[in-house]
């Protein structure tokens, strides 16, 4: 039974995401190609136009490789299902879910993650093919994708905890937008995090966001040893444990305030 509803939610989420196939395709292309082009342009400006030979110890080709490989993982980290949770609280739709014999936070996650799993599969295939041409290791790509999927869970947990502010202020949209912007910069999606000046490196190191894109990319490119990788997987699991506790706490408090009025 437990597995059955989860599989049903996964199937439902996948059907929902692909109901409008053209939109789905546009979304993937738009969210992949344009950010990659922007990154590439920055490296082009620094190296080809600016004449730099190395930036923070990285060559032009190092940065190009980073851009292409990080693109595969940045497609996995996303998902707007935390926004869905906030909207359910705000509108009172949450009541419908409370009547069901399933955990609402997990249900929304599973339904929302379906499309990401599909994308992760595509990206992994692409990554393994890319690895053959660029001389990376295929198994490393699989490990990196595993870390990216752990990152996806952490990302949702942070969003689900933030969404509970909707119990207090009705509206959590802005807070979730702020979270997305911060994640955008601190996950390594915009630029490699080792470009941060040494005095500012603590900023990204003290959040779990680097595990979403930067970490998987570092491992896939061979910049992290296997030991480092397994340490980071351990750290990710600790963050997941903390996230779970955070969700229990915030949702427990939030449900005490919930009025189910909507509007």
Binding site residues, other proteins, CB under 8 A:
20, 22-23, 26-27, 30-31, 33-35, 37-38, 41-42, 44-46, 49-50, 52, 55-56, 169, 171, 173-175, 177-178, 181-182, 184-185, 190-191, 195-197, 200
The least distance separating other proteins from the CB of residue 143, rounded to whole angstroms, comes to 28
Q: Which is nearer to other proteins, 44 or 258 (CB)?
A: 44
Contacts of 231 (CB under 8 A, 6+ apart): none
Do 141 and 131 contact (CB within 8 A), yes or no?
yes
The Cα 189–Cα 186 span in angstroms is: 8
| Structure-token pair, residue 17 | 């995401």
Do 147 and 233 contact (CB within 8 A), yes or no?
yes
Residue 182's nearest CA partner among 153, 162, 164, 168 is 162
The least distance separating other proteins from the CB of residue 9, rounded to whole angstroms, comes to 23
The least distance separating other proteins from the CB of residue 90, rounded to whole angstroms, comes to 13
CB atoms within 10 A of CB 50: 10
The Cα 82–Cα 137 span in angstroms is: 34
Radius of gyration of the chain (CA): 19
The least distance separating other proteins from the CB of residue 116, rounded to whole angstroms, comes to 16
Residue whose entry in the numeric block shows the structure tokens 């502010």? 165
Q: Which is nearer to other proteins, 106 or 170 (CB)?
A: 170
The least distance separating other proteins from the CB of residue 13, rounded to whole angstroms, comes to 17
The least distance separating other proteins from the CB of residue 229, rounded to whole angstroms, comes to 25
Q: Which is nearer to other proteins, 95 or 184 (CB)?
A: 184
Residue 144's nearest CA partner among 160, 120, 177 is 120
CB atoms within 10 A of CB 180: 16
């Amino acid at each position: 039974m437990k597995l059955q509803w989860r599989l049903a939610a996964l199937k439902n989420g996948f059907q929902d995401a692909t109901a409008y196939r053209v939109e789905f395709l546009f979304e993937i292309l738009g969210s992949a190609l344009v950010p990659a082009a922007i990154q590439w342009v920055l490296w082009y400006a620094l190296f080809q136009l600016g004449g730099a030979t190395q930036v923070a110890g990285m060559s032009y080709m190092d940065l190009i490789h980073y851009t292409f490989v990080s693109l595969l993982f940045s497609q996995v980290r996303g998902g707007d299902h935390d926004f869905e949770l906030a909207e359910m609280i705000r509108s009172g739709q949450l009541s419908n879910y409370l009547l069901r014999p399933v955990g609402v936070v997990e249900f929304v996650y599973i339904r929302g993650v379906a499309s990401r799993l599909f994308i992760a599969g595509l990206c992994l295939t692409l990554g393994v093919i890319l690895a053959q041409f660029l001389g990376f290791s295929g198994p490393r790509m699989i490990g990196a994708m595993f870390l990216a999927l752990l990152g996806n869970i952490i990302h949702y947990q942070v969003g689900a905890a933030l969404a509970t502010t909707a119990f207090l202020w009705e509206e959590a949209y802005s807070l979730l937008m702020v979270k997305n912007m911060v994640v955008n910069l601190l996950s390594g999606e915009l630029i490699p995090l080792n470009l941060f000046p040494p005095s500012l490196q603590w900023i990204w190191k003290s959040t779990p966001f680097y595990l979403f894109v930067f970490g998987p990319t570092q491992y896939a490119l061979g910049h992290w040893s296997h030991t480092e990788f397994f340490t980071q997987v351990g750290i990710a699991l600790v963050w997941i444990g903390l996230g779970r506790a955070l969700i229990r706490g915030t949702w427990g408090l939030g449900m005490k305030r919930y009025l189910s009025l909507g509007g």
